Amino acid sequence: MTTRNTRLDPMDLFDVRSELSDDELLVKDTVARFADEQAIPLMREAFENHSFPRELIGQVAELGLLGSSIEGYDCAGMNAVSYGLICQELERADSGLRSFVSVQSSLVMYPIYTFGSEEQKQRWLPAMARGEAIGCFGLTEPHGGSDPGNMKTHAKRDGSDWILNGAKMWITNGTIADAAVVWAQTSEGIKGFIVEKDMPGFSAQEIENKFSLRASITAGLFFDNVRIPEANVLPGVSSLRGPLSCLTQARYGITWGVIGAAQACLDEVLKYTDDRVLFGKPLSHTQAMQIRMADMSRRITTAQLLSLRLGRIKDAGQLSPSQVSLAKWNNCRAAIDIARDARDILGGAGISAEYVPIRHMLNLESVITYEGTETVHQLAVGRELTGINAFG
Q: Rule CB under 6 A: choose which of 69, 79, 82, 102 binds ligand TGC.
A: 102
The distance between the two most distant Cα atoms of the chain, rounded to a whole number of Å, is 80
- Our finding on whether 175 is near ligand TGC (CB under 6 A) is no
Compare residues 250 and 265 and give the one whose CB is closer to ligand FAD. Answer: 250
Per CB under 6 A, does 58 bind ligand TGC?
no
Q: Which of 201, 376, 382, 384 forms a contact with ligand TGC (CB under 6 A)?
A: 376
Residue 221 vs 380, nearer CB to ligand TGC: 380
Residues 220-259 that bind ligand TGC (CB under 6 A): 239-241, 244-245, 247-248, 250
> Is-contact 61 125, C-beta < 8 A?
no
Which one of the spans 65-73, 139-147, 265-273, 309-317 is the region binding ligand FAD (CB under 6 A)?
139-147
Nearest Cα neighbor of 339 from 321, 326, 351 is: 351
Non-local CB neighbours of 256 within 8 Å, separated by 6+ positions: 83, 84, 85, 87, 88, 91, 307, 311, 331
* Cα→Cα distances 343→262, 269, 339, 346, 387, Å: 12, 9, 6, 5, 40
CA distance 220 to 170: 6
* Shortest CB 240 distance to ligand TGC, Å: 4
Of the residues 64, 131, 145, 253, which one makes contact with ligand FAD according to CB under 6 A: 145
Choose, by CB under 6 A, the member of 49, 352, 375, 389 that binds ligand FAD. Answer: 375
Q: How far is CA 387 from CA 232, 286, 314, 326, in A?
A: 37, 48, 23, 16
Applying CB under 6 A, which part among 24-32, 34-42, 153-161, 368-376 lies near ligand FAD?
Answer: 368-376
Helix axes 357-367, 95-102, angle to 10 degrees: 30
By a kind-dependent CB cut-off of 5 to 8 A, residue 201 interacts, out of ligand FAD, ligand TGC, none, with none
Minimum separation from the CB atom of position 10 to ligand TGC (A): 28
d(CA 144, CA 168): 10
Q: Which of residues 69 and 248 has its CB atom nearest to ligand TGC in the complex?
A: 248
Q: Which is nearer to ligand TGC, 269 or 306 (CB)?
A: 306
368 binds ligand FAD (CB under 6 A): no
| Region 108-147 residues binding ligand TGC, contact defined as CB under 6 A | 137, 139-140, 145-147
Binding residue (CB under 6 A) for ligand FAD from 21, 49, 59, 146: 146
Q: How far is the CB of 170 from ligand FAD (least distance, A)?
A: 4
In angstroms, what is the minimal distance from the CB of 112 to ligand FAD? 16
Nearest approach in angstroms of CB 366 to ligand TGC is: 7
* Part in contact with ligand FAD (CB under 6 A); list of ranges 155-163, 165-173, 258-266, 308-316: 165-173
Strand-strand pairing, 218-229 and 179-186: unpaired
Catalytically annotated residues: 371
* 211 contacts ligand FAD (rule: CB under 6 A): no
Q: Does 172 bind ligand FAD (CB under 6 A)?
A: yes
- 115, 193, 272, 370: residue in contact with ligand FAD (rule CB under 6 A): 370
Name the site residues for ligand FAD (rule: CB under 6 A): 103, 136-140, 144-146, 170-172, 213, 218, 366, 369-371, 373, 375-376, 391
Name the site residues for ligand TGC (rule: CB under 6 A): 99, 102-103, 137, 139-140, 145-149, 172, 239-241, 244-245, 247-248, 250, 321, 370-372, 376, 380, 391
